[in-house]
């Protein structure tokens, strides 16, 4: 599940998940499904602009975070507020330091995608988890 627009990390994550056989969901800020990524199998149209970030976060059990921008930061903050797990992938030290200062219970850090997946499996207690 991503923000559903055909750009950047949103698009890359949807394409990667689709290639791996996953079912992808795009939660759109717009009033119609026009302009959504082709890689979003299910397009949830919210008409809520940035408010759709709340839907993205609440629907998730674990958020994978690549890079950092104001939109991404709003999702990390809302996730910590609503007690969803966040895995920062290759985060800059200042970002990692800042988010850690807001609470460590739901914040995780990974250096590689493989490590991120392992952390998520451990959180969700999925088969394949090393714990």
Query: Rounded to the nearest whole angstrom, what is the least distance from the CB of residue 120 to a copy of itself in the complex?
Result: 17
The pairs formed by 46-52 with CB atoms below 8 angstroms and a separation of 24 or more are 50/74, 52/3, 52/27, 52/28
Residue 123 lies near a copy of itself (rule: CB under 8 A): no
Q: Using an 8 Å Cβ cutoff, are 48 and 70 in contact?
A: no
79 neighbors 68 (Cβ within 8 angstroms): no
Q: Between residue 30 and residue 69, which ones bind a copy of itself under the rule CB under 8 A?
A: 31-33, 42-51, 53-55, 58-59, 68-69
Name the site residues for a copy of itself (rule: CB under 8 A): 23, 25, 27, 31-33, 42-51, 53-55, 58-59, 68-71, 73-74, 76-78, 80-82, 92, 94-95, 97-98, 101-103
């Amino acid at each position: 599940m991503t923000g559903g627009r055909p750009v950047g990390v949103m698009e890359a994550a949807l394409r990667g998940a689709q290639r791996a056989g996953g079912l992808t969901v795009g939660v759109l800020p717009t009033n119609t499904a026009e302009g959504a990524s082709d890689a979003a199998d299910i397009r949830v149209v919210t008409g809520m602009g940035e408010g759709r970030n709340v839907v993205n976060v609440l629907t998730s059990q674990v958020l994978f975070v690549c890079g950092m921008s104001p939109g991404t930061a709003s999702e990390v903050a809302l996730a910590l507020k609503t007690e969803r797990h966040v895995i920062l992938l290759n985060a800059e030290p200042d970002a990692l330091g800042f988010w850690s200062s807001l609470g460590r219970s739901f914040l995780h850090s990974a250096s590689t995608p493989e490590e991120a997946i392992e952390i998520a499996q451990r959180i969700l207690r999925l088969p394949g988890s090393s714990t």
